């Protein structure tokens, strides 16, 4: 539902908004189709020697080239030295590229237009820099374990939400001309032991949770996939014929190529025959061991790898290159990853970051309309998370420290901040206009925080929780978080401030859920603002919400539990054999556990009423069979049911609502979760206005994976249709009988 695009900004806000540069435009090139791309690829392939082919599939080696991954050029077909570069929230290692909102924050906007635009802007910057393959977006980790270090690079532990977000991102990126790389495929849910551990995922769980969003990525015509470090059911992802050949290439009919995560390849022959198409970076990190290159050539000559397999690798790689039109005047990479330099490619893309910083904020608590603020006399702003780190936002390589305000996690999925607007920066600007006095305590010392807060009308306490990739350990967190508490004694800071100030507002920047119990019911904590991982425009987006320039419209993309144990999943040592259908809200629903804030929850400054549910159409029961397209059996993607609901803004100000549709499968579907997200809209409405939420259910949305039949099956019986403002605030129900 994208129709209701009424302006959200109140008049006071318009002046601030219009100070922004003009809206940046999305690049919309036609992406070709695979059949045309394959015709071109076949003709080029016929002109290549075995040597040429080997150089197309083998990286030049670690740090042997400007990009984090490179392959050799083949002049005879006009094929360039391919440049592969991270990452999912911006171009890594370039100063002057945009630091967008992180994936998890993009998900919390539930705004498909913004998500697609973000993808498009990411791709446009990559293209300007001559990057052919941008290493993202991320659907693995999915987020099974709330402390998983890289969850924030992806979107949500709900596979439907992640599936929509990854597809929109890929389409946006590829329309800009860059090849997307869906990663990390698959079952890489934690950092601890990621390069040795096995993820032993049962077939149905694989399909309904972990494979689901990757299916969307294939359907969106992702040019490439990155196989992950871990093993799946006993064999390494990058040589696992079951997941590469059978699931991805046969079942999902993936036409693009699979490249390895960096040094995730273990064998020459096994990986080639298992379905790997390109090895990255082409050597190990000591620049010694080279598993393809001459070794692959010998394996072909010795007959262990068929020539046709190498042709298939090359055909896939060339087809992807043609698909996005990179054979036509594509720029050459001129930046250098190993010496970070300035390249101003951000243009006006900050408009997307600002909008996401604002619309991804989830308001969790707002006693007696404490927010929005209206020209308060005095405010105390407290916490190291309120300011840019004194050493600078980019002081630590790959953001591997947590000193000032948190706007992205750490690791390869980061970008350099071109600038970073911290909460205090933006609050000061607003305070100046309002004549508000500001006192500060910009460290995390509880006593000093309380002193600053004591005599202020409001105290804004900023706390955070960081995580990242396991090659950097930050304050004892080896990638994965050690717990679900805020860093730097954030709970004590909030409690000390709330003890002396009756209007304490907590602002949280976090990579994922935190336990809020120590203060959530404290009557002096009048508001809790979940500000996520917003990217370079952090403070500006926050002020938009704190002062009511926009009504909050973000919704939680995961559950916030009362106790860490409630999630039922933990980082493990060794292999992980605990995989079931019940992660995040699916578990809370099934086990009847009351969360603190459920999946999909978020308050607004206005109210929405739901009415007039309509349900039209029904699927035929049974397995999906027949012709395949990218993404699997074609009929799985057919819209089979349309649900609509009337949404009315019954409150006093403009706002946006995210009506969500959940399906409960009939009891003939064995052991299915009580309800599963299968649709959402983001509807912007002026006070008093109404709009229609429209949910198109595809056949897949009403199916479960039947392992015995190896098919997506629509069960018979009554399907429950629940439409509501969160996974537990259901306003309308109906049913579909099949």
CB atoms within 10 A of CB 625: 11
Q: Counting Cβ atoms within 10 Å, is residue 380 exposed (0-12), middle (13-18) or buried (19+)?
A: buried
Closest CA to 399 of 390, 391, 408: 408
- 239 scored as a contact of ligand NOJ (CB under 6 A): no
The residue from 54, 68, 94, 421 that contacts ligand NOJ (CB under 6 A) is 68
Decide whether 106 or 138 has the Cβ nearer to ligand NOJ. Answer: 138
Beta-sheet strands, E only, within 298-372: 341-342, 362-366
Strand ranges for 230-318 from DSSP E: 231-232, 235-236, 257-260
**CB-based contacts of 732, cutoff 8 Å, min separation 6:** 610, 611, 613, 645, 722, 723, 724
SS3 629: strand
**Alpha carbon 25 to chain centroid distance?**
22
Q: Which is nearer to ligand NOJ, 263 or 722 (CB)?
A: 263
SS3 of residue 616 by DSSP: strand
Three-point CA angle 204, 274, 636, nearest 5°:
40
Out of 52, 86, 125, 171, the only residue in the binding site for ligand NOJ (CB under 6 A) is: 86
Are residues 589 and 158 in contact, defined by beta-carbon separation less than 8 angstroms? no
Q: How far is the CB of 108 from ligand NOJ (least distance, A)?
A: 22
CA distance 135 to 184: 10
Q: Can residue 102 be called a binding residue for ligand NOJ (CB under 6 A)?
A: no
- Taking CB under 6 A as the criterion, the residue among 254, 262, 558, 719 binding ligand NOJ is 262
User: Do 275 and 248 meet the contact criterion of CB atoms below 8 Å apart?
Assistant: yes
Comparing CB distances to ligand NOJ, the nearer of 419 and 471 is 471
* DSSP state for residue 502 in the 8-state scheme: S
218 binds ligand NOJ (CB under 6 A): no
> Which of 261, 277, 385, 403 is the catalytic position?
261
> What minimum distance in Å lies between the beta carbon of 20 and ligand NOJ?
32
Least distance between ligand NOJ and beta carbon 92 (Å) = 7
Report how far residue 686's alpha carbon sits from residue 358's, in angstroms, rounded to the nearest whole number.
18
Of residues 87 and 666, the one with the C-beta less far from ligand NOJ:
87
Q: Which is nearer to ligand NOJ, 86 or 416 (CB)?
A: 86
DSSP-derived secondary structure for 226-275? EE-SSEETTEEGGG-HIIIIIIIIIIS---SEEEE-TT----SHHHHHHT
Tell which one of 58, 179, 326, 412 touches ligand NOJ (CB under 6 A): 412
In the complex, minimum distance from the CB of residue 184 to ligand NOJ, in angstroms, rounded to a whole number: 6
**Torsion on CA atoms 417, 418, 419, 423, rounded to nearest 10:** -40
706 catalytic residue (yes or no): no
Binding track, positions 150-189, relative to ligand NOJ; x by CB under 6 A = ---------------------------------xx-----
Task: Tell me 210's DSSP state.
Answer: I
Least Cβ distance, residue 151 to ligand NOJ (angstroms): 13
Contact between 507 and ligand NOJ by CB under 6 A: the answer reads no
CB of 299 to ligand NOJ, least distance (A): 25
Q: Which is nearer to ligand NOJ, 184 or 728 (CB)?
A: 184
Q: How many residues bind ligand NOJ (CB under 6 A)?
A: 9
230 lines the binding site for ligand NOJ (CB under 6 A): no
User: Using the rule CB under 6 A, which residue among 175, 208, 261, 359 binds ligand NOJ?
Assistant: 261
- Residue closer to ligand NOJ by CB (options 259, 493) is 259
Binding site for ligand NOJ (CB under 6 A): 68, 86-87, 135, 183-184, 261-262, 412
Catalytic positions, written as ranges: 261
């Amino acid at each position: 539902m994208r129709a209701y695009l009424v302006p959200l900004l109140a008049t006071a806000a318009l002046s601030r908004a219009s100070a922004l540069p003009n809206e940046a435009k999305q690049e919309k090139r036609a992406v070709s189709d695979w059949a045309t791309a394959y015709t071109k690829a076949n003709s080029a392939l016929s002109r290549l020697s075995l040597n040429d082919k080997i150089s197309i599939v083998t990286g030049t080696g670690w740090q042997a080239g400007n990009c984090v991954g490179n392959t050799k050029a083949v002049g005879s077909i006009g094929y360039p030295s391919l440049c592969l570069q991270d990452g999912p929230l911006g171009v890594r290692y370039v100063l002057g590229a945009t630091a967008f909102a992180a994936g998890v924050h993009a998900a919390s906007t539930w705004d498909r237009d913004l998500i697609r635009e973000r993808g498009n802007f990411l791709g446009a910057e990559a293209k300007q820099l001559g990057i052919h393959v941008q290493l993202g977006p991320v659907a693995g980790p999915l987020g099974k374990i709330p402390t998983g270090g890289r969850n924030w690079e992806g979107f949500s532990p709900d596979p439907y939400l992640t599936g929509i977000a990854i597809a929109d991102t890929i389409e946006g990126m590829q329309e800009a001309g860059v090849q997307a790389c869906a990663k990390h495929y698959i079952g890489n849910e934690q950092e601890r032991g990621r390069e040795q551990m096995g993820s032993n995922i049962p077939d149905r769980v694989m399909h309904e949770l972990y494979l689901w969003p990757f299916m969307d990525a294939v359907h969106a015509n992702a040019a490439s996939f990155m196989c992950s470090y871990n093993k799946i059911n006993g064999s390494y992802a990058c040589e696992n014929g079951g997941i590469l050949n059978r699931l991805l290439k046969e079942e999902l009919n993936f036409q693009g190529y699979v490249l390895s995560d960096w040094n995730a390849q273990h064998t020459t022959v096994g990986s080639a025959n298992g379905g790997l198409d390109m090895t990255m970076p082409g050597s190990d990190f000591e620049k010694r061991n080279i598993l393809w290159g001459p070794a692959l050539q010998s394996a072909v000559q010795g007959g262990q790898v068929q020539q046709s397999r190498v042709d298939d690798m090359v055909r896939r790689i060339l087809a992807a290159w043609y698909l996005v039109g990179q054979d036509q005047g594509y720029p050459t990479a001129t930046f250098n990853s190993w010496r970070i330099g300035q390249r101003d490619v951000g243009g006006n893309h900050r408009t997307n970051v600002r909008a996401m910083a604002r619309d991804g904020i989830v308001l969790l608590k707002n006693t007696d309309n404490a927010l929005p603020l209206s020209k308060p006399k005095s405010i105390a702003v407290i916490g190291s998370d309120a300011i840019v780190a004194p050493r600078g936002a980019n002081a630590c390589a790959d953001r591997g420290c947590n000193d000032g305000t948190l706007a992205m996690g750490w690791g390869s999925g980061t970008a350099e901040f071109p600038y970073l607007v911290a909460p205090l920066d933006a609050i000061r600007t607003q305070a100046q206009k309002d004549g508000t006095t500001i006192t500060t305590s910009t460290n995390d010392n509880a006593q000093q925080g309380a002193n600053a807060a004591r005599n202020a009308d409001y105290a804004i306490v900023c706390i955070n929780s960081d995580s990242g990739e396991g090659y950097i350990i930050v304050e004892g967190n080896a990638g994965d978080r050690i717990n679900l508490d805020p860093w730097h004694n954030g709970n004590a800071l909030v409690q000390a401030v709330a003890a002396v100030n009756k209007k304490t507002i907590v602002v949280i920047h976090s990579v994922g859920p935190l336990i809020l119990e120590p203060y959530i019911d404290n009557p002096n904590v009048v508001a809790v603002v979940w500000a996520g991982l917003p990217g370079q425009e952090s403070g500006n987006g926050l002020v938009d919400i704190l002062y009511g320039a926009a009504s909050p419209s973000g919704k939680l993309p995961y559950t916030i539990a009362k106790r860490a144990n409630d999630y039922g999943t933990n980082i493990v040592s060794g292999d992980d054999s605990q995989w079931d259908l019940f992660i995040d809200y699916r578990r809370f629903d099934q086990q009847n556990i009351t969360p603190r804030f459920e999946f999909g929850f978020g308050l607004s400054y206005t109210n929405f009423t739901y009415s007039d549910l309509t349900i039209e159409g029904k699927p035929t029961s049974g397995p999906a069979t027949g012709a395949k397209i990218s993404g699997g059996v074609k009929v799985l993607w057919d819209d089979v049911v349309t649900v609509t609901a009337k949404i009315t803004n019954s409150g006093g100000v403009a706002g946006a609502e995210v009506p969500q549709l959940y399906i409960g499968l009939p009891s003939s579907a064995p052991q299915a979760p009580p309800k599963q997200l299968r649709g959402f809209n983001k509807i912007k409405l002026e006070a008093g206005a109404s709009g229609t939420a429209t949910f198109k259910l595809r056949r897949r949305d009403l199916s479960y994976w039947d392992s015995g039949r190896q098919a997506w099956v629509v069960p018979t019986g009554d399907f429950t249709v629940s439409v509501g403002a969160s996974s537990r605030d259901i306003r309308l129900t109906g049913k579909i009988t099949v």
